[in-house]
Amino acid sequence: MKVLVSDNLGEIGIEMFRKEENIDVDVKTGLAPDELKDIISGYDALVIRSATKVTEELIEAASRLKVVGRAGIGLDNVDIPAATKQGVVVMNTPGGNVVTTAEHAIAMILSLTRNIPAGTSSLKSGLWNKKKLQGREVYNKTLGLIGFGKIGSIVADRAQGLKMKVIVYDPFVTLELIEKAGLEPVSLEELYSRSDYITIHVPKLKETIGMLNEEAFNRMKDGVMLVNCARGGIVDETDLYNAMKSGKVAGAALDVFESEPPGESPLFEFDRFICTPHLGASTKEAQTNVAVAVAGQIIEYLKNGTILNAVNVPSVTGDLLDKLGPFLTIADRMGCLQAQLIDGPLKEVVIEYRGDFQGLDMSPVSTAVLKGILSSAVKDDVNFVNASVIAKERGIKVLETSSSESEDYINLITIKTITASNTITVAGTIVGKHDPRVVKINNFRLELIPRGHLALIHNIDKPGAIGSIGTVLGEHNINIGRMHVGQEEDGERNIIFLRTDTPFTDEVIECLRSLPLVKTVIPLEL
């Protein structure tokens, strides 16, 4: 079996491959996409970091490829649906660099506060700008954390050691869990208005791209310090430039950028702007950790078929995977749908299996449900191995029930999610042997293929409602690929699920919401 390492990997990981019998490893970094495509058919495994782009085209050319291993967390550079379709396992190494990234955020805070980069530069230029470079203390200052996952929680711990007051905004974490850590949960509005420092610890999602923009900066305290060691694009760099130019933001530190490398950025003109070339995970210890982890996972899979930290396949035997496959698909998609429908931090998930599941062990399916739900909050951090652990860490109670009785379907999976403000129920089944369908959302019955660009619309059940919706979409050149209409049990409202060829823009959503017979519009991506 042959392994290709296409990005820089710690030597210890390469040596692990070399020591294994029946495994040959080639290290070929810096390949152009066409060069990689020309040789990929000769390999069973591909080891990457962030430079290699594993596209659908590359996967189609990789006729032998069984597994892609990412030495790190982020998988933005891997087409996971294409890999799954081709039967390629995609693994990452969550946890290998969380301490390193958290420490880098703390280093950025201190460097900003005491003008360390500017002081170094001026002194090396022969200047002694002691008064100009006067800093301030972090002691008793308020640090606002946006995101309270693994990295955010470590930053909070280190900041408390510096005697900072830490406040936290994370809509996916319960207030009780934040308070248990000795921290204060707040709304995003309150975080902006109270924080002397703001650090970002959220994944790059549709909802978080451009999250720190002009509107957000205007709501912040004058003289705030901003640090982003999470993902590029969460901070709108043009709006940050304007906020720094006006003095609203006194200092900013970015380890990540919208485009990497960023080239010439207007932000570079500010002495109070500091930056690093995506060094959050770049320590000797972290690179050793992820190199050992990814090499060990791939060796285990190639030699023994053991799957560890896969984001698209659970850790089960091949025979069981074949039988569970359709249920895993519907469970993951229903979980993803639930995550976009719930409001507020999740407190409880109830998973009910009814009907004939042929005596299968459904625990991997329950894990798929949790993975689908949590992916919207932690994205690449969650996989089939750690989904249950992350749910427990976030204070989410998980209950499973089963019954051989099912009135309308041979088998039915029902997921109920409970938050402080609402309860959402979604039910799904398998049609034929492989086709997933969502058949109920709360009191609405329908038959929905859970895939693509969707919108959930509640409307008054009166003539003209559906026509007005179609007119708005037509005026914006949006083609309806499929429409599902279900009726509420009391008959007063309809639920409409639209699947379109292109995503719904904010403008289209607002136009739909303004229609007199439309009550709510929720855009969804599955």
Same domain for 119 and 27? no
Range of the domain at 509: 450-526
Distance CA 68, CA 209 (A): 26
DSSP class per residue in 277-310: SS-TT-SHHHHHHHHHHHHHHHHHHHHH----SB
Same domain for 270 and 374? no
Distance CA 430, CA 159 (A): 49
Same domain for 412 and 460? no
Cα dihedral value 181, 186, 190, 191, nearest 10: 40
Angstrom distances, CA of residue 499 to CA of 35, 67, 434, 455, 466? 38, 32, 20, 7, 14
Token digits for 130? 């002691």
Same domain for 241 and 132? yes
Asked whether the predicted pLDDT for residue 270 surpasses 90, the reply is: yes
Q: Can you give the CATH number for the domain in which 455 is found?
A: 3.30.70.260
Express each pLDDT in 53-67 by its tens digit: 999 999 999 999 999
Same domain for 159 and 265? yes
484 catalytic per annotation: no
**Residue ending a domain, choose from 308, 324, 355:** 308
- Let me know: does 61 contact 33? Beta carbons within 8 Å: no
Same domain for 398 and 470? no
**Residue ending a domain, choose from 275, 297, 324:** 275
Task: Check 70, 158, 201, 278 and give the catalytic one.
Answer: 278
Q: Which H helix or E strand runs over 184?
A: strand 184-185
Same domain for 129 and 269? yes
| Strand ranges inside 285-422, DSSP E | 346-355, 397-403, 411-419
Q: Can you give the CATH number for the domain in which 37 is found?
A: 3.40.50.720
Same domain for 127 and 113? yes
- Is residue 63 helix, strand or coil? coil
Omega before 266 cis (within 30°)?
A: no
Token digits for 357? 């599941």
231 catalytic per annotation: yes
Rg (CA), the chain: 25
Express each pLDDT in 295-319 by its tens digit: 999 999 999 888 888 888 776 666 6
pLDDT confidence of 3, banded at 50, 70, 90? Answer: very high
Q: What are the backbone angles phi and psi of residue 191, rounded to the nearest 5°?
A: -60, -45
Q: Which H helix or E strand runs over 275?
A: strand 273-275
Among the listed residues 73, 70, 90, the one whose alpha carbon sits nearest the alpha carbon of residue 81: 90
- Is residue 429 helix, strand or coil? strand
- Domains identified in the chain, total number: 4
- Is residue 132 helix, strand or coil? coil
Task: Check 35, 60, 260, 447 and give the catalytic one.
Answer: 260
Express each pLDDT in 473-520 by its tens digit: 998 899 888 887 876 655 677 788 888 888 888 899 999 999 988 888
The pLDDT value given to residue 488: 64
Task: Check 70, 158, 231, 354 and give the catalytic one.
Answer: 231
Name residue 431's beta-bridge partners. 435
The pLDDT value given to residue 386: 76
**Residue ending a domain, choose from 225, 258, 275:** 275
Angstrom distances, CA of residue 90 to CA of 400, 408, 461? 28, 36, 45
Mean pLDDT of 179-189: 94
Mean pLDDT of 157-174: 95
Same domain for 208 and 349? no
Same domain for 239 and 143? yes
Quote the mean pLDDT of the chain: 90
> Whose structure tokens read 């009910």?
352
Same domain for 90 and 230? no
Task: List, in order, residues 6 or more apart from 494 with CB less than 8 Å away.
Answer: 458, 459, 460, 461, 465, 466, 485, 486, 487, 488
Express each pLDDT in 403-461 by its tens digit: 888 778 888 999 999 998 889 999 999 988 788 999 988 888 888 888 888 888 888 87
103 catalytic per annotation: no
Express each pLDDT in 339-366 by its tens digit: 999 988 899 999 999 988 878 888 889 9
The pLDDT value given to residue 375: 84
Task: List, in order, residues 6 or more apart from 278 with CB less than 8 Å away.
Answer: 50, 255, 256, 257, 260
The pLDDT value given to residue 499: 86
Mean pLDDT of 313-334: 79
Q: How much helix, strand and coil, in percent to the nearest 5, is found in the chain? A: 35, 25, 40
Residue 342, CB-side half-sphere exposure with 13 Å CA sphere: 30
- Is residue 403 helix, strand or coil? strand
For residue 308, the one-letter residue type is L
Q: Can you give the CATH number for the domain in which 366 is found?
A: 3.30.1330.90
State the angle between helix axes of 363-378 and 318-341 in degrees (0 to 180), rounded to the nearest 10.
Answer: 40
Same domain for 265 and 123? yes
Name residue 416's beta-bridge partners. 350, 425
Instruction: List the Cα angle 9/12/18 in 5-degree steps.
Output: 95
| Strand ranges inside 10-97, DSSP E | 24-27, 45-48, 67-70, 89-91
Mean pLDDT of 207-213: 93
